[in-house]
Amino acid sequence: MSDSDTETLEDKEPECLHESHDHDWLPMLSKKESLTLAPHPYCDKCGLVRNVGPDRPRKVGFYMEVLSRIEKHLKKEHDKGGKYKLTETHKRLMVKKIQDEEVFFDLYGVMSSTQEEKFIDIIKDVRPDIEENVIEYYLDY
Ligand SMILES: [Zn+2]
């Protein structure tokens, strides 16, 4: 993978740029005394609800970092005579799959747990022999 691939990933824009006008929903808070549902800001264009919770999404660069840590891990395991290392083809395939997933680029309404599940799916899809707890370890690293 060349440096330019990574730059393209960072630059990719989501389909909807999401514009919400916070003044449209904030007054609801002051008018009503009790609300069963906390008001959430949402996009005026596509209606997607913005994630304002603690489970914040991460930029795609974070997942690229995790991927290269997993790559290093596999190389070490390989040198010890264990796992196969990550080939360029495998890595390129994973990067391609990540690039095709909107959850890594359209961060407006997404949660990090959703991204992590998707990330694990992608890694295991290409390399089913990589244990989920290894991927999780590097996600929490
Ligand atoms: Zn939108």
Phi, psi of 60 (to 5 degrees): -60, -30
Average pLDDT over residues 104-127: 95
Average pLDDT over residues 112-131: 96
Q: Who has greater pLDDT, 110 or 7?
A: 110
34 lies in the same domain as 58: no
Q: Residue 98: left (phi > 0), alpha (psi -120 to 50), or beta?
A: alpha
CA 49 to centroid of ligand 1, rounded, Å: 9
39 lies in the same domain as 66: no
CA 51 to centroid of ligand 1, rounded, Å: 12
CA 60 to centroid of ligand 1, rounded, Å: 19
59 lies in the same domain as 45: no
CA 14 to centroid of ligand 1, rounded, Å: 9
- Global pTM value: 0.77
Residue 5 lies in a domain: no
CA 109 to centroid of ligand 1, rounded, Å: 9
Average pLDDT over residues 114-141: 95
CA 38 to centroid of ligand 1, rounded, Å: 20
139 lies in the same domain as 77: yes
Point out the domain boundary residue: 6, 31, 50. Answer: 50
42 lies in the same domain as 78: no
| pLDDT the model gives residue 121 | 98
Phi, psi of 129 (to 5 degrees): -80, -10
Are the CB atoms for 71 and 92 separated by under 8 Å? no
Statement: residue 137 has pLDDT above 80: yes
Tell me the pLDDT band of 54, cut-offs 50, 70 and 90.
confident
Q: Who has greater pLDDT, 10 or 137?
A: 137
94 lies in the same domain as 30: no
121 lies in the same domain as 61: yes
Average pLDDT over residues 7-32: 62
Geometric angle at alpha carbon 50, from 32 and 43, rounded to 5°? 90
104 lies in the same domain as 129: yes
Phi, psi of 53 (to 5 degrees): -80, 180
> Chain-wide mean pLDDT for the chain?
83
Tell me the pLDDT band of 117, cut-offs 50, 70 and 90.
very high
CA 103 to centroid of ligand 1, rounded, Å: 13
Point out the domain boundary residue: 31, 50, 69. Answer: 50
Task: Find the domain containing 129 and state its range.
Answer: 54-141
Report which of 66, 136, 56, 57 is spatially closest to residue 94, judged by C-alpha positions: 66
Report which of 109, 121, 122, 116 is spatially closest to residue 136, judged by C-alpha positions: 116
* Helical ranges in 1-141 per DSSP H: 3-11, 26-31, 60-79, 88-99, 112-126, 132-140
CA 90 to centroid of ligand 1, rounded, Å: 33
